[in-house]
Structure 1
Amino acid sequence: MSTDEQAPSQITGQLKQAQGVLYQAVGAVPGTAESWTAEGERLQKEGADELDEARAEQKGEATVNRVWGKAESAYGMVTGDQTHLNEGNLKAEKGEWQNALADGQLPNPSWDRVKGKAQSAAGMLTGDQEMQKDGNMQAEKAEWTKG
C-alpha cells in the first residue's frame, strides 16, 4: 500500500457500497448510460472488499490484544504483580470487544463468565488480588467450558 492510500475502513467500505447502489439505480433509469450501472457494480464490489479487509485487520488486532492480554494477566497472577494482572485483563477484554464489533455484534458471555468478570473487577478495584485471581479463574473456566 502506498503512503497516500488509506487503510481499509468499514465506514468507507459501506459508503462505497451505498454509492454503488445509487449509481446502479441511476443506471436503471431509461436513457442513462450503461456506464452508471457498471460503475455502480464496481463500487459495490470495491466497497465489499474494503469492508472485508477492514474486518479481517480488526479481528487480527483483536486476537493479538486478547492473547497478549491473557499472557500479561497470567504473568501478573503468577508473580503477584497487580499492575500486570490489571493491564492484562483490560487488554484481553479490549480484544474480546474488538473481535465482536468486527462481526457487528456485542460480546455474549455466559452468566458464569459475567459473575467471574464482576468478581475480578471487584478485586481489581479493592486491590484484593486473591479475589481478582479467583474471578479470573472462574471467568476463564466458564469461557473454556462455555458454561
Structure 2
Amino acid sequence: MSEAQPSQITGQVKNAQGLLYQAVGAIPGTADSWTTQGAELAKEGQDEVHAAQEAQKSEAQAERVEGKVQSAWGALTGNQETLNEGNLKAEKAEWKGAVADGEIPVPSMDRVKGKVESAVGMATGDVDKQREGNVRAEAAEWTKG
C-alpha cells in the first residue's frame, strides 16, 4: 500500500489538533505528554502543509512548461487552437503555483500589454497579432528581475 500524498488540509488539521493538545497541556495539573504530543502534531502538520505546497509548485511548474511548449508548437505550425490551449494551460499553471505560495501573480505592465495584444489577436483571428503579443509577454517575463 502506498503512502498518502501530503495534503494542505490534513496538515492544517494536524496543526490545529497539535495546538489544541498544547492548550490542554497548559492547564495546571495536566500531564506534560499533552504539550509534548501537541508540539509533535503541530510540527507534523506544518511539515505536511509545506510538503503539499512544494508538490503543488513542482506540479504547476511542469504544467506551465508543458503549456508553453504546446503554445510554441501551435505558433510554429500555425495551429491557432493548439496555441490557445497551450496559453491557457500555462496561465492556469502560473496561478496554481502562485496559490501554493499564498500569492497572486502580478505581471509587469509590458507583460499585461502583450497578453492584451494576444487576446485581441485571438478574438479577431489575427494570428500575427496574437503571436506578437505572446512574444512581447514572454520577453517581459524573461527580462523581469
Shared fold by TM > 0.5?
Answer: yes
- Residue in structure 2 matched with residue 14 of structure 1 by the alignment: 12
Percent identity, please.
Answer: 63
SS at match of 2:22: helix
Structure 2: gaps spanning 5 or more residues: none
By how many angstroms is 1:48 displaced?
1.1
Give, in whole Å, the separation in 2 of the partners of 1:58 and 1:127: 35
- Residue in structure 2 matched with residue 69 of structure 1 by the alignment: 67
Is 1:97 aligned to residue 100 of structure 2?
no
- Residue in structure 1 matched with residue 85 of structure 2 by the alignment: 87
SS at match of 2:44: helix
User: How big is each residue's C-alpha offset from its partner over 1:93-142, in whole Å with a ceiling of 9 and x where there is no partner?
Assistant: 11111111110001011011011112212222232211111110110011
Q: 2:27 aligns with which of 29, 40, 61?
A: 29
State the aligned residue count: 145
Give, in whole Å, the separation in 2 of the partners of 1:11 and 1:49: 12
By how many angstroms is 1:21 displaced?
1.1
Is 1:53 aligned to residue 29 of structure 2?
no
- Residue in structure 1 matched with residue 106 of structure 2 by the alignment: 108
Kindly report structure 1 stretches of 4+ aligned residues shifted beyond 3 Å.
Answer: none
Aligned-residue CA RMSD in angstroms?
A: 1.4
